[in-house]
Amino acid sequence: MKPYLFIIVFFFQNFALGQTILDEDSISRQKDLEERVRIFKESMKIYNELCHQDSLRASIDSKTQNKYFIYNIAPAGSDFPAKEELRAILEKHNIIWGGMAMNTDIPHAYTPNKCYNSFMNTFTEQKFGENFMENLVQKSLLEYIYKNPAIIFEHNDHLDWIYENNDAIADSLINKLFFKSFIYPKGYKALTQKEQSFTEVNLELDETTYTLKLESFNHHIDNKHNEKFIPYFEKEVSKFIKSHNFVLSKREVLYNGVKTHFKIYYK
């Protein structure tokens, strides 16, 4: 009987000890949680106070000036390339170029002027219209692209809109550049409304020089008569790629990838 009594006593002692340890762990976790909640509430209070001060300052400033900022995405977003172009465009509408700001991926993290910049953008968009401001930004980017066409092939965060609908705008911009110097060959027959002809150009990236070079062609020529001009099309596209020397940003290549194909549409 005594051995069984010993086992029972031993079991209850260990059970009681285990419960004590569990209770201590639970109390510790509860205290840790309460401390986290306290710190969060305190940081939120500070954040709201600072943002409130920024909003008051922005409200006062907006009565005498219009100001606009561009945000980069944290932590590794693409840089906005068209700073000078946007500055000039904004000035024409009596809007001050505020400069670059950074969107943080840490919730409720306050950085100097963070809320001020946001409120100033809001006030400017309310006055001129959100679509109007977006169009100004896109206009500045287009101006930059015409000066620096290589950026069409970089997937920059601020240029996402040119890659929508199967890269429709990006390909359209490349076509504009291409047809500036392209001359249709003698004997080429213009297409009817039902016909379509294009050359799909596939590129590859030289990882040493960060330049794009030709890899291959795919042709779709509805008018059989024009198929004899395919070698001419290929020669002109090759000349176009070499003459523009599309050198890409090393950073954009590493972070955002590269557009490695486009289509040239013939009339």
Asked if residue 230 has pLDDT above 90, the reply is yes
Residues 204-215 have pLDDT tens digits of 999 899 999 999
Which tops the pLDDT comparison, 43 or 195? 195
Asked if residue 154 has pLDDT above 70, the reply is yes
User: Of 50-59, 117-126, 150-159, 193-202, which gets the smallest average pLDDT?
Assistant: 50-59
**Token pair 């305190």 in the structure block, residue:** 42
Asked if residue 9 has pLDDT above 90, the reply is no
CA dist 227 and 197 (Å) reads 10
Q: What fold, for 149-266?
A: 3.30.1150
All structural domains of the chain with their residue ranges: 43-147, 149-266
Cβ distance 222 to 191 under 8 Å?
yes
Reported pTM: 0.79
Closest-CA residue to 183 (of 243, 228, 240): 240
pLDDT of residue 74: 72
Q: Tell me the pLDDT of the chain averaged across its residues.
A: 87
Percentage of the chain exceeding pLDDT 90: 63
Q: Residue 108's pLDDT band (boundaries 50, 70, 90)?
A: low
CA dist 35 and 180 (Å) reads 66
Asked if residue 234 has pLDDT above 90, the reply is yes
Which tops the pLDDT comparison, 105 or 95? 95
Give the β-pairing of 211-221 and 67-73.
Answer: unpaired
147 in helix, strand or coil? helix
Radius of gyration of the chain (CA): 31
